[in-house]
Amino acid sequence: MAVAPGSMFGEAAAGMVRVSLAAPRDLLLDGLARRADEVADTPDDAWTRTAAVPVGT
């Protein structure tokens, strides 16, 4: 699953994450579940609107 900062797609998308849907459904669901786990485990004070979060493997 590939993700990109929303800001790459314009100011209105800043603070968002764009997800590529060019993968089989099972891989997308697994990747999205892993991303959700990473977000849930990240302390609130670690987030900024401009920080890049590395994609885990």
SS (H, E, C) 6-54: HHHHCHHHCCCEEECCCCCHHHHHHHHHHHHHHHHCCCHHHCCCCCCCC
pTM for the full model? 0.58
| Half-sphere exposure of residue 2: CA atoms within 13 angstroms, side-chain side | 5
Query: What average pLDDT score do residues 2-29 get?
Result: 88
Give me the chain's average pLDDT, please: 80
pLDDT band at 25, cuts 50/70/90?
very high
| Half-sphere exposure of residue 28: CA atoms within 13 angstroms, side-chain side | 8
Please report, for the chain, the start and end positions of each structural domain, with discontinuous segments joined by +: 1-7+17-43
